Each structure stands twice: as C-alpha cells, then as structure tokens.
Amino acid sequence: MYINYKVAQNKTKVLIELSFDGFRRLSEFKNGLITQEMGDFLKDNPDYTSRFNEWMYSQCSPEGIYDVSLKIYQKLSELINNNRNIKTFIDLGCNSGDVVYTVSQMGIDAVGVDLPLIIDKIQLPIKTMALDLNRQFPIGTYDIIFCRETIEHVPDPDNFLECCKQIAHAESFLFISCPYTNRQYVGNAFHLRVLSSDQLACMVEKHGFTVLETFVEHESNVIVAQKKQNE
C-alpha cells in the first residue's frame, strides 16, 4: 500500500511514492518537524486518510479497552444503569471492540464500527460494521452514540457530527472526546486536529446536540451531550 506525497526538494515540491510505513517514519523526522504539514495533506485527501488509518491501526495492538478507572466509562455505565430507555448503542471507531462487548454484557444491543482491516482483528463476539466513516455511515438510530478519540482522525468533522445527528433520535446521547494538546504534531500525522473544550462544545451544539457535561481526561476534552428536541 502506497501514498503519493509531495516533499520539499531544492525548494520545490516533488511528488514521491511512499509506503504507508515510510509515510509514518517521515512524519517522525526531526521530532515531527513536518508532521503538521503531513496532517494537512491527509485532511485534503480523505481516501489516503482512511487507508493510512486502517493500515496504521491494523499494525498496532488493539486499543479502546473499557477501563473502569476512566470517567468517560463511569459516566457511560451510570447512564445505562440509571436509564431503562437505553436499548441500543453504537461505537464509532470501536477498535478492539471491548467497549461494545462490555456494553452488550449490560443487556444493550451494541454494535461497533471501524475500517475493514481493524474489524477483521476483533476477536470478541460482538456485532460489527466495516465502514469508512469518511464516506459511509450506519443507518437507523441509536440511544447512545459513542466516539472516543475518533473525530481527530476525520478530515471533515462537521460532516461527521452531522451524520451523528442523523443516527440520533429525540432523546439520544452523544459521548465524544478529542485531544486538546499539540501531541499530534510530534510524529503523529494521523491526528488531524486538536480542539479546546469550547471548540468541541460549539461544534456539537451546531449539529443539533445540547452539551450536558464536559470534563478533561488523558489530555482530551470529553463531552456528554443529548440531541436537541427540536432537531
């Protein structure tokens, strides 16, 4: 798998073909000197972004463990346990599938969505959808839409949140998080943005959700929101 990328050579941009691993290694050059530029390239090329992320995460150890010490999972468990109307759950960017599996053990109809090579790695007995969320989105509606550390990988976050609204009904909840530090510019070209708490909240509100709570966890801003009644 290869990516066509323009690099500076003699003060001009020269198109070269890199393997995905070569692209990743170039992003780490001199402590991420050109990582932001590479991130901008990925924002402008959604097909490469999806393929790069799929390759990257298919090479890594599974992520997304349901860690009960984290507040986001405490809040999720609390919501499910205290609201008998919660019947369905979707994890956008489910990676290991552990969150989907844990929620399903609570009696919830849960499904995980990720890119095909990542879905292929899941060993847990869960429902999955292999989709490129830059181009495809699930159908139907869900009581809880969960997207932890996903929106920073998406070239068009406004379109992503608008699609989240389309799979939400009048009382659906949205859990979403995004990094707020500049850590993506240190050899991490596949984090395309950082968002402050206010920026993330404004985006969520703009796309039909009311923010219920915000908090910080592991250098990320986390928002719990609910779909607005009139949307």
The predicted-structure confidence for 114-136, as pLDDT tens digits, reads as follows 999 999 999 999 999 999 999 99
Count up the domains in the chain and report the number.
2
For residues 104 and 1, the model is more confident at 104
Burial of 87 (C-beta count, 10 Å sphere; 0-12/13-18/19+): middle
The structure tokens listed for 56 are 């990257």
Answer whether residue 142 shows pLDDT above 80. yes
Answer whether residue 11 shows pLDDT above 60. no
Does any domain span residue 212?
A: yes
Where among 37, 59, 81 does a domain terminate?
59
- Listed range (44-48, 76-80, 144-148, 163-167) with the worst mean pLDDT: 44-48
Answer whether residue 175 shows pLDDT above 80. yes
What 3-state DSSP class applies to 154? coil
Q: pTM here?
A: 0.91
Confidence label for 219 from pLDDT (cuts 50, 70 and 90): confident
Cα–Cα distance measured from residue 191 to residue 169, given in angstroms and rounded to the nearest whole number: 29
Reported as a single tens digit per residue, the pLDDT across 33-76 is 777 788 888 889 899 899 989 988 888 888 889 999 999 999 99
What 3-state DSSP class applies to 102? helix
One domain for residues 28 and 128: no
One domain for residues 33 and 80: no
Does any domain span residue 88?
A: yes
Cα–Cα distance measured from residue 199 to residue 96, given in angstroms and rounded to the nearest whole number: 28
One domain for residues 32 and 130: no
One domain for residues 96 and 136: yes
One domain for residues 110 and 213: yes
Does any domain span residue 65?
A: no
pLDDT value, residue 9: 56
Query: Beta 142-147 vs 12-19: how paired, if at all?
Result: unpaired
Where among 10, 29, 59 does a domain terminate?
59
Owning domain of residue 35? 2-59
CATH number at residue 198: 3.40.50.150
